[in-house]
Amino acid sequence: MKIAMIGSGYVGLVSGACFADFGHVVACVDKDPDKIAALEAGRIPIFEPGLDTLVADNVRQGRLTFSTNLPQAVAGADAVFIAVGTPSRRGDGFADLSYVHAAAREIGQALTGYAVVVTKSTVPVGTGDEVERIIREVRPEAEVAVVSNPEFLREGAAIADFKRPDRIVIGAEGAREAEVMREIYRPLYLNQAPILVTGRRTAELTKYAANAFLATKITFINEIADLCEQVGANVQEVARGIGLDNRIGAKFLHAGPGYGGSCFPKDILALVKTAQDAGTPVRLVETVVAVNESRKRAMARKVIQACGGSVRGKTIAILGLTFKPNTDDMRDAPSLAIIAGLQDGGARIRAYDPEGMDQARPLLPDITYAEDAYACAEGADALVIVTEWNAFRALDLARLGAVMASRILVDLRNVYRPETVTRHGFHYVGIGVQGLTEPGAG
């Protein structure tokens, strides 16, 4: 099938490359000529494991192209996906749909025959109705159907998620467009990926509800971690104990510094605003947002406490800047609030991240960037693990201790066993674990 993907950012590029790998002919469109030129030259603007190879393979086989020419890509397409950004709107946190509406208007002008227009971007309930209204306003005679097909991609594992999804949600109002969508995803038949066909508004809300529930699990276990620290329990064992219950599940029960990234913060704010506008506020979700925001700053206070109550004039080494490993995404990363809190306390910050430093520099211009973890730790009064990159899981603790001014390790992801760290003379502070926190213990 011929597919046009409007928007070549994270969702659009991954989706377009994967559809092309299924055997469809895909044109990825973007208004940014520099981005298109880079993609045509084989330079991928985002870090996602395996994406560069996937794009190169499908470009070479002629199934994947890049262009700034939307009318040319849309003409004759069987399906046109809208995968543009929907950032949080300033002031009220609602999703900014200006890019979606602009894309709908241009698509309507470019349609040449029957096509299914698909909102792949995460959008509030009712957006599909507005997209259809705009298209019909531009082209009243257009033979078109508008479908919702939310994405459920995890950064760092997006290709695997696309090709082996837990489910595919299709929000369609008619049988014809639903059948087109089934045909697009037919290559996943052997994987037995469940396809759930719903109404359009139901599909739109499903994405928001899923993200809100996962964020709630993260926030829940983080609060349990705080309780564990006060009563002498171990949050990792608590999480395993409850996660083995099939009704709860083990995923998203890893205590840490709070959620961030491109999806959870903005999607949950948009859900809160949608519910408020509908007169049915989601109080639980509102609390999740508030607790998560306060937690990030609390992590800075945790580091300060580990340093004896003050970090003024001290050097704090930060390992990991991105909101999660295997991505270069800095959007709403907990590191931003943690570093700000430490700087407010008078600390000097040195940081290292395997992939995120280029993205971090404009956001954190007044910190020092190191070339590796050991250079980051040199002369530091404390080392803080913020993002659990694999490269940080087996550090040479003796080497670290030898170059640091003080042997303090604050592990905000519980990467290490307390007894292992303290055996090397470190003062260890984890999340939700009492552990052995005195140097030499164990």
The pLDDT, as a whole number, for residue 442 is 36
The pLDDT, as a whole number, for residue 43 is 94
- The domain defined by 2-198 folds into Rossmann fold (3.40.50)
The pLDDT, as a whole number, for residue 95 is 84
Query: For residues 230 and 212, what is the distance between their CA atoms, to the nearest angstrom?
Result: 28
Give yes or no: 263 in active site: yes
CATH number for the region 199-442 comes to 3.40.50.720
The pLDDT, as a whole number, for residue 252 is 96
209: Cα within 13 Å, side-chain hemisphere: 8
Enumerate residues 6+ apart whose C-beta is below 8 A from 188: 22, 163, 165, 168
The pLDDT, as a whole number, for residue 262 is 83
The pLDDT, as a whole number, for residue 108 is 96
Domain ranges of the chain: 2-198, 199-442
Q: Which one is catalytic: 28, 228, 263, 376?
A: 263
The pLDDT, as a whole number, for residue 434 is 75
Q: What is the pLDDT of residues 117-156, one digit of tens each?
A: 999 999 999 999 999 999 999 999 999 999 999 999 999 9
Nearest to 40 by CA among 26, 51, 28, 50: 28
The residue count for the chain? 442
The pLDDT, as a whole number, for residue 93 is 73
* Both tokens assigned to 390: 């694999």
Q: Which residues of the chain have pLDDT under 70?
A: 435-442
The pLDDT, as a whole number, for residue 441 is 39
Query: For residues 335 and 324, what is the distance between their CA atoms, to the nearest angstrom?
Result: 10
The pLDDT, as a whole number, for residue 94 is 81
Domains 2-198 and 199-442 equal at CATH topology level: yes
